[in-house]
Amino acid sequence: MFYSGRIGSFGILVLICIIVYIRLRQVVVGKSPTIRRLPALESVEEAVGRAAEMGRPVFFNAGYAAGGLTTIEAPIIGAAMSLLHYTARLTARYGTGITIFLGPINMVPVSMDVIKAAYTIEGVESDYRETMVRWLSDSQFVYTSGFMGACQREKPASHVMMGGFWYESILLGEAGRNAGAFTVGGTPRQGQVHFMVAICDYVLIGDEYYAAAASVSRDPEEIGSIWGADDIKILILGLLIVGSILQVLGIDWITQLLKL
């Protein structure tokens, strides 16, 4: 019935699902973990405030993230939408307006809905414009050059770059900085974090990104997911430590179990 060599991973998959389900149920009945203070998240309001003072726009970038919702980038994009919603609400409150730049075409209707919802919640639905969502291109360099041009022409006061970035993160970040923008970044993509750290004034690294998305959305499902993910990480850490020690001692039953 099962493919040989995949039963171990199926067992781990089931365990992950059970743990996450338990935590989701716990959050629904009112329990919740503490999400620590995230300076990068708090700086988003500072960024929007700066834009309001300077009378210049706020740019939001969710990254090229090729394919968007059809790929493994889907969790990153989902979290980016939560952060977009949070940023859009701030811009609605401060009256600065926001422009989001997109690579994947399938994100256009989603982003429009997210920003419109944010403006509606803040009671300024009339300020929402469809031009707040700018789809540039599905081609990475075309998307990047489009954003760089927009930065040069429109000189944003703040640049919030949170999402799934590929190679273009350094270009997007520096383009914003060269235009004088205060830059806040965040991505869980391992290959781009180092660029973000070098470019941004504040940055969310790795899982801080998901935690930030969960804490701004206050969505019980997102918080439960973060909580469950933390539990699983502790389990994995334990497995790694115990497994490594046992392997060194010549006992490989954990490895054999995982290879079942």
Partner 1 sequence: MEQRHIIYLLLAIMIAIPYIQPIGIPVETSKMTRDFYNKLKSLPEGSAVVLMVDVGLGSWVELGPATVAVVQHLLDLPIKLLVSGGSAELPVVWEYTLEQGNIKLGDNKYGEDYVVLGFITGGEPAAAALADNLHLTKEDQYGTPLEEIPMMKDLRTAADVKVVLSIMAGTQEEWYLRQWRAPYGTDVGIIVSAVTTALAMTYYVSGQIFGMVNSLRGGAEYELLISKPGKGVVGTDMLSLSHLLLVGLLIIGNIQLLYEKFSGTRKPEEKTGG
Partner 2 sequence: MAFERNIGPKIVLSITIILMVTNYYLSPQLFQDIGKYIKEFVVVIAAVMLGLGFINALLRDIPRITKKEPGQWYFSLLTIIFIFVMLFLCAGNKYMPGTFSGMYSFLYQEVYRVLGNAIGAFAAFFVFTATFRAMRLKTLEAGAYTISHILAVLGNAPIGAVIWPGIPIIADWINEVVVSAGLRGFIITSSLGGVILVFRYVIGKSETVLGSA
Residues forming the site for partner 2 (CB under 8 A): 1-3, 6, 10, 13, 16-17, 20-21, 24, 67, 69-70, 72, 74-78, 81-82, 84-85, 105-106, 108-110, 113-114, 117-118, 134-135, 138, 141-142, 144-145, 148-149, 153-154, 167, 170-171, 173-175, 188-190, 193, 195, 197-199, 206-207, 210, 217, 221, 225, 228-229, 232-233, 236
Q: How far apart are CA 188 and CA 169, in angstroms?
A: 12
Q: Is residue 178 near partner 1 by the rule CB under 8 A?
A: yes
Near partner 1 by CB under 8 A, which window of 23-31, 177-185, 210-218, 222-230? 177-185
Q: How far apart are CA 216 and CA 200, in angstroms?
A: 20
x-marked contacts with partner 1 along 70-109 as a string, rule CB under 8 A: xxx-------------------------------------
The least CB distance from residue 233 to partner 1, in Å, is 17
The least CB distance from residue 46 to partner 2, in Å, is 20
- Listed in sequence order, the residues at least 6 apart from 199 whose beta carbon sits closer than 8 Å to its beta carbon are 169, 170, 173, 174, 177, 183, 185
Owner of token pair 């707040």: 132
Q: Is residue 159 near partner 1 by the rule CB under 8 A?
A: yes
The least CB distance from residue 68 to partner 1, in Å, is 9
Q: How far apart are CA 260 and CA 249, in angstroms?
A: 21
Would residue 210 be called left, alpha or beta, if left means φ above 0 and alpha means ψ between -120 and 50 degrees? alpha
In single-letter form, the type of residue at position 197 comes to V
Nearer to partner 2, 2 or 250 (CB): 2
Nearer to partner 2, 177 or 250 (CB): 177
Which option in partner 2, partner 1, none does residue 176 bind, with CB closer than 5 to 8 A by kind?
partner 1
Q: Is residue 182 near partner 1 by the rule CB under 8 A?
A: yes
Judge contact between 152 and 179, C-beta under 8 A: yes
- Cβ burial, residue 191 (10 Å; 0-12/13-18/19+): exposed
- Among 41, 62, 75, 50, smallest CA distance to 168 is for 62
Q: How far apart are CA 176 and CA 182, in angstroms?
A: 8
x-marked contacts with partner 1 along 200-239 as a string, rule CB under 8 A: -x--------------------------------------
In single-letter form, the type of residue at position 232 comes to I
Structure tokens at 164: 């799934």
In single-letter form, the type of residue at position 223 comes to I
Interface with partner 1 by CB under 8 A: which residues?
Answer: 3, 50, 66-67, 70-72, 139-141, 159, 166-167, 176-183, 189-191, 201
